[in-house]
Amino acid sequence: MTKEFSVQTIVTILKRVLPADSGTLALHEPSFEGNEWLYVMECLDSGWVSSAGKYVDRFEQMLREYTGVKHAVAVVNGTAALHICLKLVDVQPGDEVLIPALTFVATANAVHYCGAIPHFIDSSRQTLGLDPVKLEEYLQEIADVRKDGCWNRRTGRRIKAAVPMHTFGHPVDLDALAAVCQRFRLELVEDAAESLGSFYKGKHTGHWGKVSALSFNGNKIVTTGGGGAILTNDEALGRLAKHLTTTAKVPHAWAYYHDMVGYNYRLPNINAALGCAQLEKLPQFIERKRALVEVYRQAFADVESVQVFTEPPFAKSNYWLQTLLLDERCADYRDELLDATNLAGIQTRPAWTLLHRLPMYEECPRMDLEVATMLEKRIVNIPSSQKLTITSIF
């Protein structure tokens, strides 16, 4: 029997599915159940806790092996990784960079750090990420393709790159987007911050552009406390990424000589040690997250006007954040639902405020954002920690 939508129905279902907890059940928290203590203690005992030590190299090697990308450079956070990615594809001050309006603010901030201008693009209902079909139609309307690149005929500025973000771990349609970028002479830079462990047509995210960025923030599927990484299959860009993120210091036994403006973005060894232990458990984390979405899907199957968002058919998602989509007719109840769940000790959250509505980006160019606006009103993220399935399933 199909249940009608009500806030109390959703709260009741979540309470039934989720483990009882004396406090607030977090939206997402890390799981430390492997070698974290051992590796971190080794750093403390040896004194190798900062920018040198074996775990940074090991962490980068493990990232290469898992993702299949040839070069990985570990850095202090995902925003720093994306900043350097944009520098590596020669985003210049005054350039425009195409990014989804529905993304975390770091995507736009990294563009701003380059002196460039975010240009906001609509989302796809299928992936929640950047829509390549609408993007191509929009570029046909506003863009001139010349020998020296793609130019916005409305603003007179160069459009240098497109940065898709794999929302909540769900890959965008990368083949279609790569084709659009090729036709319009745009660099493709993947903001893969949320998609470690996600695959598009059998290949890990991060392979479709020249460079891509990962995040290992405390709320990600794998954490180093704070941290990120730059991925690339280009050997020269991999070397340059390492050089730029280590203050552009020319290697020498004792001399301090820097040959370009660099950034102190190195990931400390103690953080990388944590990351190595986390990566060892990544396959189990993903298995649990994928089991959790099935529990949610079955729990809400008979609830009218509520959909548990699932991966697009061409992808295998890490399901970083589990997502409820309210029917458009029920979108006005979103905030009431957020209040009720958090009051009940179940942490939930809405999607990010669309970036063009933030004061520092409200004057930036944008296309029609009909789908992103609709999704913003309907998305509710619910508890997603991989440790939840240990209690509720296994």
Position 387 confidence tier, pLDDT thresholds 50, 70, 90: confident
Residue extent(s) of CATH 3.90.1150.10 domains in the chain? 7-31+281-392
Report d(CA 225, CA 219) in Å as an integer.
Answer: 9
The CATH architecture that domain 36-278 belongs to is 3-Layer(aba) Sandwich (3.40)
Q: Which residue has the tokens 């911050």?
A: 193
Q: Give residue-wise pLDDT tens across range 140-157.
A: 999 999 999 999 999 999
Residues of the chain within CATH 3.40.640.10 domain(s) are: 36-278
What is the pLDDT averaged over residues 265-284? 98
Q: Does the structure show a pLDDT above 60 at 390?
A: no
Would you mind telling me the total number of residues written for the chain in this entry?
A: 394
- The letter for the amino acid at 150 is C
Instruction: Say whether domain 7-31+281-392 belongs to CATH 3.90.1150.10.
Output: yes
Instruction: Please answer whether residues 98 and 138 qualify as being in contact, where contact means their C-beta atoms are separated by less than 8 angstroms.
Output: no
Q: CA nearest 248: which of 84, 99, 68, 65?
A: 84
pLDDT average, residue stretch 192-209: 97
Model confidence band, residue 2 (pLDDT cutoffs 50, 70, 90): low
Q: What is the DSSP letter of 264?
A: B
Count the neighbouring beta carbons within 10 Å of the beta carbon of residue 105. 16
**What secondary structure does DSSP assign to 265-327, as a single string?**
-BPPHHHHHHHHHHHHHHHHHHHHHHHHHHHHHHHTTTBTTEEE----TTEE---SSEEEEE-
pTM score? 0.96
Q: What is the mean pLDDT of the chain?
A: 95
Least confident of 39-48, 221-230, 321-330, 380-389: 380-389
Distances (CA, A) of 87 to 107, 179, 334, 338: 14, 22, 39, 39
3-state secondary structure of 13: helix
Selection from 393, 355, 349 nearest residue 373 by Cα: 355
- The answer to whether the CB of 35 falls within 8 A of the CB of 174 is no
Say which residue the tokens 């179940």 belong to. Answer: 346
Chain-centroid distance of CA 78 in Å reads 8
- pLDDT band (50, 70, 90) for residue 3: low
The type of residue at 220 is: K
